[in-house]
Amino acid sequence: MSAPLKPSSMETLPSGLTGLAADWASDQRAFKNVSWGKAMMWIFLLSDTFIFGCFLIAYMSARMSTTVPWPNPSEVFALEIGGVHVPLILIAIMTFVLISSSGTMAMAVNYGYRRDRRKTAALMLITALFGAMFVGMQAFEWSKLIAEGVRPWGNPWGAAQFGSTFFMITGFHGTHVTIGVIFLLIIARKVWRGDFDTERRGFFTSRKGHYEIVEITGLYWHFVDLVWVFIFAFFYLW
């Protein structure tokens, strides 16, 4: 990758550790040439990290301190496909779907900055579709487990806390995915309509019309995928 092109107005900004100190010592906004919208999304995601962190730590404490055996997630989430018993396959498919949605989202952001609104909107729609697929599979997963007798206060295979942590963690993540799909659809519609070229005013477009909101939406979406990486590792694989 070539060095980023910098207009003359930015050459005065120091980079590296000097830049870090200069940014934080600034009496105006701390993150020079990072827009408020993006800085605020990052700070929201940081707060969300703490919430998911607390959920995962609570799950860790419950699992470490229980004297009753923990259900084996590999078997709990196994499926019979064509008469073949495949452990954890549902979660693996959900993981691949979510990663693919992250890939299409990253490309949507890229085409947004190229001001190619048709490709941007199309890629965002595909992302939303993958997101909806994920939520659909989660609904299937929940229905199956509820049918098998998993409740927030118990389950047929061992430690009762498995039920509560499962519904809490995957439920909160699924809510994030659902909100993300809605957010994606709203922004994709604006992109498709050309709001960022005509500088049309409105919800999330009240500032001048540039495509940065696509990247901010992308930050949220990638974060949802990022959280799933941790849930996949700690809840399903551990």
Binding span for another protein by CB under 8 A among 166-174, 188-196, 198-206, 230-238: 230-238
Shortest CB 116 distance to another protein, Å:
11
Shortest CB 223 distance to another protein, Å:
8
Does residue 67 interact with another protein by CB under 8 A? yes
Identified binder of another protein from the candidate list 40, 51, 68, 139, rule CB under 8 A? 68
Does residue 51 interact with another protein by CB under 8 A? no
Does residue 116 interact with another protein by CB under 8 A? no
Alpha-carbon distance of 114 to 235, in angstroms, equals: 39
Does residue 201 interact with another protein by CB under 8 A? no
Identified binder of another protein from the candidate list 134, 215, 217, 235, rule CB under 8 A? 215
Closest CA to 136 of 102, 89, 164, 174: 174
Exposed e or buried b per residue across 139-153, where buried means at least 16 C-beta atoms within 10 angstroms of its C-beta = eebbeebeeeebeee
Nearer to another protein, 89 or 135 (CB): 89
Shortest CB 118 distance to another protein, Å:
15
Alpha-carbon distance of 146 to 152, in angstroms, equals: 10
Per-residue DSSP letter, 9 = G
- In the range 73-112, which residues lie near another protein by CB under 8 A? 74, 87-88, 92, 95-96, 99-100, 102-103, 105-107, 109-110
Alpha-carbon distance of 151 to 184, in angstroms, equals: 32
Binding residue count for another protein, defined by CB under 8 A: 72
Does residue 205 interact with another protein by CB under 8 A? no
Shortest CB 207 distance to another protein, Å:
8
Identified binder of another protein from the candidate list 166, 183, 223, 235, rule CB under 8 A? 223
3-state secondary structure of 205: coil
Q: Which residues contact 110 (CB under 8 A, 6 or more apart)?
A: none
Alpha-carbon distance of 187 to 217, in angstroms, equals: 8
Cα dihedral angle (72, 134, 123, 195), rounded to 10 degrees? -130
Nearer to another protein, 31 or 140 (CB): 31
Identified binder of another protein from the candidate list 162, 166, 196, 211, rule CB under 8 A? 211
Q: Tokens representing 201?
A: 């005013």
CB count in 10 Å sphere of residue 68: 11
Shortest CB 31 distance to another protein, Å:
5
